Structure 1
Amino acid sequence: MYFTYIIRCKDDSLYTGYTTDIVRRMKEHESGINCKYSRVKGFKRLETYFIADSKSNAMKLEYYIKRLNRNKKLWIIKNPKEFLETLENKECYNIPYNE
């Protein structure tokens, strides 16, 4: 199981990543280890995450989200189910919402 996630940093910036262990990864962001961005910006909270069936799909989703502007990322955070519905037409994404 793989996770693609968006966190909010203390400076209100957003960071997107992927991992195999969401709990461990959030602890790393909190501690400022294994991520220069959250070490510098400070970890505030996990905003949302998505579960992927493969590393490839998790990485594709991470890449897709990272290319979006801030407003679109904020929309994803507020509307994760609707976001996934927009991906349904894209065969490369087979990602259920984390309910």
Structure 2
Amino acid sequence: MNHGSHYVYILECNDGTYYTGYTTNVEKRLQAHASGLGAKYTRGRAPLEVVYEELFLSKGEALKAEYRIKQLSKAQKRALILKKGCFGKRV
């Protein structure tokens, strides 16, 4: 059953690390991260840049993809970003 859009995204933090997350609204979630209301991991690591986002039709598919991406090494995440990246949203 489709209840809207579901996204998996990767943020690049100012220290060069990556944060992977799930949301239904990338812009709103990015603002939450930027204001310190997002994940604890991203606090103090701004500026943040969305370097990857992928749309899924179900929450289940998105959460499975998020899990798979979180299991990747940093080099594998970088390869995924270079292959399918989405650059330019920075806060």
Relative to the length of structure 1, the TM-score reads: 0.77
Which one of the candidate residues 50, 53, 58 is aligned to 1:49? Answer: 53
Matched, 1:60 2:56: no
Cα shift at 1:48: 1.0
Where structure 1 has 5 or more consecutive residues not aligned to the other structure, the ranges are 82-99
Q: Deviations over 1:5-57 (max 9, x none)?
A: 00001111000000011110011111121310111333420001000010001
Counterpart of 1:84 in structure 2 is none
In 2, Cα distance between equivalents of 1:59 and 1:27: 21
Q: Which amino acid aligns with 1:53?
A: L
Residue 78 of structure 2 aligns with an amino acid whose one-letter code is: L
Describe the SS at the equivalent of 2:10.
strand
Mapped partners of 1:46, 1:34: distance in 2 = 14
- Larger relative contact order (Cα-Cα within 8 Å, sequence gap ≥ 6): 2
TM-score, normalising length: structure 2 = 0.83
**Identity, % of aligned positions:** 35
Q: What stretches of structure 1 move > 3 A for 4+ residues in a row?
A: none
Structure 2 gaps, min length 5: 86-91
Larger deviation: 40-49 or 66-75?
40-49
Matched length: 81
Of residues 39-48 and 51-60 in structure 1, the stretch that sits farther from structure 2 once superposed is: 39-48
The aligned counterpart of 1:34 is: 38
The corresponding residue for 1:13 is: 17
Task: Looking at secondary structure, tell me which structure has more helix per residue.
Answer: 1
